A and B are shown apart, each in its own frame.
Chain A
Amino acid sequence: MTDKTAPSDASTDTRDAAPGEETIARNEPAAGVPGYLLGYGLAILLTAGSFVAARTGLIYQPAVISALVVLALAQIGVHLVFFLHLTTGPDNTNNILALAFGVLIVALIVLGSVWIMDHLDQNMPPMKPQQLALLARCPAERLPGGVGDGPCGA
């Protein structure tokens, strides 16, 4: 197939690892069946921890969100190490750099949106009573500004 056009294996650089390659972790504790079992066990523990944090009064209520975020990040780390076999080895540099850039963009989008929209929310002037009354009286599709006369448009 298209493999014929690819350089032969003799001329290629075999020192870079594909993301998630099983052979990456051959010399690591995260290798093979024991590695997957360890990751599975850790993920179950962290999931159970999240449910306990959210469902019981064990954690001070305003701190539950922090506990959930930390447990979720820890579990994502477990998945990356034990299932996707990311390592800090130099054969993984490209994979880690791509991931780091992805994490940067995700953080910008999520934290930036929450930050900006929260400020917008606080800076909006409260509705005047007559605006509230108008909203309550008019169906959403017939707000003033539409065609016709009267408080609700035509």
Chain B
Amino acid sequence: MNDHFDTMPSDITAGSARRDPYMLGRSSGLRDGRSRQEGATGRGEGGPAPKFVTVTYGFWIFLLSDIIMFSAFFASYAVLVNATDSGPTGKQLFDLTRVAVQTGLLLTSTFTAGMASLAIERRSMPGAQAWLVVTGVLGALFLLLEGQEFITMIGENAGPTRSAFLSAFFGLVGCHGVHVGLGVLWLGTMMAQLWVKGFRADILRRLHCFGLFWHALDIIWVAIFSLVYLLGASQ
């Protein structure tokens, strides 16, 4: 039906293939045997997407739903932040030096995760393993500091049972910490799998999903250090 139309370059795209890397405004060329490179992108006209795209897109949806779960923790924290029950407030409890170190550790680990992803792209086993180790060590140090903070607070009678504010605080920050801990375990698993199985298609997909997960954790930490720690300590 559209065959006639397909063979005619439209006024908009005529002669502009080189300046149009995304094939905007071009309908599918598959039916009349032309290169699939001319199929319009993002419109599902070129057949099913490769497994790498569908798997990581599914993981992307999971990450967004995980962020929505975090938003419920953020909402309860925002509602309960003043419900201290005459107990300690954030201004008295938060140690911003430790938070600054934690932020630096997690931000650097997200950068090294990116370096690992580039090394995987180059198919460099030593580079990938080295950057993944650095990422994992930075994540573990972050967890160590967070554990130290929680133990200190509980020792000062400021545990999660002290007030609604502290319940919300431990829920939110602890949930992020659990994610980082699971991420470190996943990272160790992926390093072992990469070592044993090499740059196989399924291993590459899992490593890519891990990278997305790790970057998303740092995005959540940005919201936590800004809106929980810095805002709490400045009020």
Contacts and interface: CB of A to CB of B under 8 A. Distances in A.
B42 A106 contact: no
Contacts, number: 182
Nearest to A19: B60
Contacts of A99: 64
A13 B118 contact: no
Main secondary structure of the interface of B (DSSP, over half): helix
Main secondary structure of the interface of A (DSSP, over half): helix
A128 interface: no
Contacts of B79: 113-114, 117
B193 interface: no
Contact of A33 (B52, B55, B115): B115
Interface string A32-46: 110010011001100
A18 B51 CA distance: 10
B48 A76 contact: no
Contact of B233 (A54, A65, A112): A54
Given A33-B115, A36-B118, A55-B234, 17 more contacts: A3-B202, A6-B50, A15-B40, A19-B212, A20-B117, A20-B215, A40-B111, A47-B103, A64-B234, A71-B226, A94-B42, A95-B60, A98-B57, A98-B64, A102-B65, A113-B76, A114-B75
22 contacts: A3-B51, A7-B48, A14-B37, A15-B42, A16-B42, A19-B56, A20-B56, A21-B56, A50-B230, A54-B234, A68-B227, A68-B230, A72-B223, A79-B215, A80-B219, A83-B215, A84-B215, A91-B42, A94-B57, A102-B67, A102-B68, A110-B78
Please provide the 3 A-B residue pairs with the shortest distance between their CB atoms, ordered closest to farther: A13-B46, A15-B41, A102-B64
